[in-house]
Chains A and B, each alone.
Chain A
Amino acid sequence: MKSLPFRWQLILFILLTCGVTLSLAFAGFYLYDVRQFNSEVQSRLEKTQSLMIENLVPLLEQNPKATDLQLKSLGVDAQIAAAAVYSSEGKILSRYVRAGVTEVIPPLPRITRFLDISDRGVLWTPISSGARSFGTLYLKAELSDADRGRLVNLLRGSAIVFFVSALLAAAMAWRFQGRITAPITELARVSTSVQRTRDYNARVQTTASGEIGELIDSFNAMLDTIQSNTSELERARVAAEDAHEKITQAHDQLEEANRTLEARVDDRTRLLAKAVKDAEEASKAKSSFLAKMSHELRTPLNAIIGYSEIMREDAADDGETARAEDLDKVLNAARHLLGLINDVLDISKIEAGKMELYLETFDLPKLITEVIATAAPLVSKKGNTLAIDCPADIGSMHADATKLRQMLLNLLSNASKFSEKGTVTLKAVRLIEEEADYMELSVVDTGIGMTPEQLTRLFQAFSQADASTTSKYGGTGLGLAISKQFAQMMQGDITVTSTPGVGSTFTIRMPAKVLSTQPKVVNQASHKLTRSPFSSQNRPKILVIDDDKDIRSVIAEVLSMSGYDVVEAASGQQGLDHVSRFTPNLILLDVLMPGIDGWTVLTKFQDNPKLADVPIIVLCAAGEVEMAIALGAANVLLKPVDASRLTAEIATQLSPLPKCYVLHVEDDADSRNLITRHLEREGWHSRSAINGKTALRMLRQRMPSMIVLDLKMPGMSGMEFLEELTQNPTWAKIPVVVVTSMDITQEMRNILTSRTLDILRKGQFTREQLTAIMRPAVEACALAQA
């Protein structure tokens, strides 16, 4: 049933319903007819019975034993199949059997004699008149032929009506089922097709009304919704596919770009590593060449000096005064030349990091006496007086006596060179503080003095206060640079104060007991540290890359105390790995490491666009500062690490830039300090950048009111920096003043005059000049901000 199509199900259902109804009607009618017929037969039998009784009673009154009763004539009709009359004793008096019928007349049943009960079509009737009983009448009726025919006709007619009705019902069912099944079949067909083909454009076409119409309308509406949803879904899918394709393309492009970038970074790193190696080798070659040359130069010079001395002694002995004086001049020139050669050798040793310390304990007053003995002729040469101010109980020192002697001689020789008919004082003081025991040795002169500008270049190798000095006073200008390096090697320093026309004071400050091994980190007392410029909830992350575990852990502790989160890396590779996972706010990098060296790491960091705005502070030796500046370090700190300076520098690097600050781009520390002091005195905010790269990073953070620019810088030069400014429309408008010691060609001057406010030569301008040039720009900025 279930597998049949709906229309057949419906037809079958209709037919079944009709069949049951008709069958019930047929059965009802038929049974009713049969019942009518039976009761008719019964009544007819009863009529026959009473007629026969009426006829029999007079006969039996006459003769109760009469046996010749003609039942035939006594009213037997066509329906009686058998009849009998029994006497009161039960004896059959008369009998009748219809012709053609086989019937057995039964004996009189005892019970029914008194009871008017009989089988169907059989009647037992007592024959009586008043109180007198004559016997019993037995009648058995049977359907006559006519009755039989009537019953057959009845059955046939009913059957015909039944079948005709059934046919009619089937025909009508067939005819009308379509009206119901067609829409449903169509619905089923369409939904099957939709299910199979997923074509949601299909609709069920129908004229059906009522619930089926509503059902189909709902179905169509549902298809509408599905169709619109599906088309939306399709559009979304197409859009998603498009987007996916674009993402894939972008990803491919990015990967390609990455590969290119990596290749370029690798290339640059290789080139740089080679350049660094070349530079190191060249530097080593230079140092060894200088050492060798100095030795080679010294040997003949020794001979010149030695033989000149012999000849001078001989001449003096022989009383040849004029010849002895000439030979003195030769000797002086040769000794001066020897001094110069020794200076060059010293500075090349210092730069190569090969200068050694020979620490010994000595009596300071004794050393001073020796130095004075040597220096006295020099001092008195220009009519200067030498004064000594040294407490006799100043005690002994543990240091490199030869170097201290050389330093003192250098300072005394300088003082007497630049003073005339004045006083040169050598002053010694011992300063015992809570945790330090220092010796301060000062050389005070009453000479020509120096301007602050001249002071800035004083300790640089190969430079004197200005170029004209060399021709006037002689010397390589190496002496002070060497002395300063010696002092620093012995955990001290040389400082200078000077007033033009009044005189200068050079002070050597050194520990009374110089330690042979320097501590790796100094000044880590907490009160000397600068705290992070941010709140304690917002601790900047600092990546510390150093192979030395001790330095790393001390720095980590110091920085953590100062309000920073520290991530440590024990090698260059680890540093690179960290940076690929997170971006620190600042990087502290030691360049002296095994494996990937610090320079390579620094270059890789510089090439990483993610770190474009992350300052990198480099820890290195004195001879490597220039390299660090050239490679774009944000600042350079020398080893041993000074925790106080380190935290101050980190705080400066991470602090937000002030409004209208003056950006000072200058690689030389002394020049930077000088200009910074000038600007501070004017009450102007300023920030220094040690190279063009750092300056550009600061420009990206905040626009300055103006820029003070040095031209000669390692890495990006001042001219290149100006070019970068010009490329950017906003930066191109920032006023620039150039402060340089460089000789400027006409071509450069043409470029500079069109772009800058002024060009000042280092050491040849006053603070007032500088600030007068800058004032309009700085004030304009302050006004604009207000």
Chain B
Amino acid sequence: MPKLLLVEDNEMNRDMLSRRLEKRGYTLVLAIDGGQGVAMAKSELPDLILMDMSLPVMDGWEATQLVKADPATKGIPVIALTAHAMESDRQKALDAGCDDFDTKPVELARLLIKIEELLKKFPPKA
């Protein structure tokens, strides 16, 4: 089963999204800020990262840049989760190296399509 890293500081969002994704058969690992996200990307080597952009300590853009700069993790696809309709944030996310983006609040059906598409594009090694 594909392993997903969810980087999200809001506890309820983290809880909801992880539970709903687990229910659909994904293995979830969780991080609550950018620094922890970068560390866990390296240690856990997930198949895909869901990265919230507005994070404490280190924000999502910086974390994504670090993930994409590290040869060990740069192959992991990242979906940016941005606040509603901030087009400039969206562009910033793509510039930081994100492979796709979705807006919060998450519309699960749409997010699942995006996750599946990316997993097909970057198939899990194991």
Chain A residues in contact with chain B, CB under 8 A? 295, 298-299, 301-303, 305-307, 309-310, 313, 338, 342, 345-346, 356-358, 400, 402
Across-interface contacts of A358 in B (CB, < 8 A): 87, 90-91
Digitize B86-126: 1 where CB-to-A-CB distance is under 8 Å, 0 elsewhere.
Answer: 11101100000000000011101000000000000000000
Out of A301, A302, A402, name the residue touching B85 (CB < 8 Å).
A402
A334: nearest chain-B partner, CB-CB: B105
Out of B10, B20, B105, B108, name the residue touching A338 (CB < 8 Å).
B105
Shortest Cβ distance from A106 into chain B, in angstroms?
Answer: 166
Interface of B is mostly: helix
Query: Are B85 and A306 in contact, CB atoms less than 8 angstroms apart?
Result: no
Docked pose: A47 CA to B105 CA in angstroms: 185
B104: nearest chain-A partner, CB-CB: A302
A302: nearest chain-B partner, CB-CB: B105
Docked pose: A306 CA to B18 CA in angstroms: 11
Docked pose: A218 CA to B85 CA in angstroms: 108
Query: Are B87 and A302 in contact, CB atoms less than 8 angstroms apart?
Result: no
Query: Are A342 and B12 in contact, CB atoms less than 8 angstroms apart?
Result: no
Across-interface contacts of B83 in A (CB, < 8 A): 295
Out of A295, A306, A400, name the residue touching B13 (CB < 8 Å).
A306
Shortest Cβ distance from B1 into chain A, in angstroms?
Answer: 19
Query: Are B17 and A306 in contact, CB atoms less than 8 angstroms apart?
Result: yes
Across-interface contacts of A357 in B (CB, < 8 A): 87
Query: Are B87 and A356 in contact, CB atoms less than 8 angstroms apart?
Result: yes
B20: nearest chain-A partner, CB-CB: A310
Docked pose: A258 CA to B91 CA in angstroms: 57
Shortest Cβ distance from B31 into chain A, in angstroms?
Answer: 19
Across-interface contacts of B84 in A (CB, < 8 A): 298, 342, 345
Among A301, A302, A338, A400, which residue has the most Cβ atoms of chain B within 10 A? A302
Across-interface contacts of A400 in B (CB, < 8 A): 87
Query: Are B85 and A299 in contact, CB atoms less than 8 angstroms apart?
Result: no
Report the interface size class on chain B. 20 to 34
Across-interface contacts of A402 in B (CB, < 8 A): 85, 87
Shortest Cβ distance from A560 into chain B, in angstroms?
Answer: 40
Shortest Cβ distance from B102 into chain A, in angstroms?
Answer: 12
Shortest Cβ distance from B45 into chain A, in angstroms?
Answer: 28
Docked pose: A402 CA to B102 CA in angstroms: 12
Docked pose: A402 CA to B20 CA in angstroms: 26
Query: Are A310 and B19 in contact, CB atoms less than 8 angstroms apart?
Result: yes
Query: Are B10 and A299 in contact, CB atoms less than 8 angstroms apart?
Result: yes
Query: Are B105 and A301 in contact, CB atoms less than 8 angstroms apart?
Result: yes
Q: Residue B16 at the A interface, CB < 8 A?
A: yes
Given pairs A303-B12, A342-B84, A356-B86, 13 additional interface contacts (CB within 8 A): A298-B105, A302-B104, A302-B105, A306-B16, A306-B20, A307-B12, A338-B105, A342-B85, A356-B87, A356-B88, A357-B87, A358-B90, A402-B85
Across-interface contacts of B104 in A (CB, < 8 A): 302
Shortest Cβ distance from B6 into chain A, in angstroms?
Answer: 13
Docked pose: A345 CA to B84 CA in angstroms: 10
Across-interface contacts of B88 in A (CB, < 8 A): 356
Docked pose: A356 CA to B87 CA in angstroms: 7
Interface pairs (12), CB distance under 8 Å: A302-B104, A306-B12, A306-B20, A306-B106, A309-B20, A309-B108, A310-B16, A338-B105, A342-B84, A356-B86, A358-B90, A402-B87
Docked pose: A358 CA to B103 CA in angstroms: 14
Across-interface contacts of A345 in B (CB, < 8 A): 84-85
Docked pose: A306 CA to B12 CA in angstroms: 9
Docked pose: A183 CA to B108 CA in angstroms: 134
A303: nearest chain-B partner, CB-CB: B12
Docked pose: A400 CA to B106 CA in angstroms: 21
